[in-house]
Amino acid sequence: MKQSRRSFIKGGIAGAISGAGLPLYGSEASESLPPTPNETEGPFYPVQAQKDKDFDLTLIEGSSQSAAGNHIYVEGIVVDTAMNPVEDVTIELWQANAAGRYRHPHDTNPAPIDPHFQGWAIVPSGAKGDFRFKTVLPGAYAVSGRWLRPPHIHFKVSKRGYEELVTQMYFPGNELNEVDRLLQRKTQEEQSAMISAKIKDAPETYQYRIVIQPV
> The domain spanning residue 163 has which CATH number?
2.60.130.10
CB 105 within 8 A of CB 47: yes
Instruction: Name the residue with higher pLDDT: 16 or 202.
Output: 202
**Backbone torsion region of residue 40, taken as left when φ is above 0, otherwise alpha when ψ lies between -120 and 50, otherwise beta:** beta
pLDDT tops 50 at residue 8: no
Task: Give the domain extent around 197.
Answer: 5-212
pLDDT tops 90 at residue 155: yes
pLDDT tops 50 at residue 197: yes
CA distance to 67, 137, 158, per residue, from 72 (Å): 11, 6, 24
pLDDT band with cut points at 50, 70 and 90 for residue 7: very low
pLDDT tops 60 at residue 20: no
Number of domains the chain is built from: 1
Give me the active site residues, please.
102, 141, 149, 152, 154
Among 9-18, 74-83, 138-147, 175-184, the minimum mean pLDDT is found in: 9-18
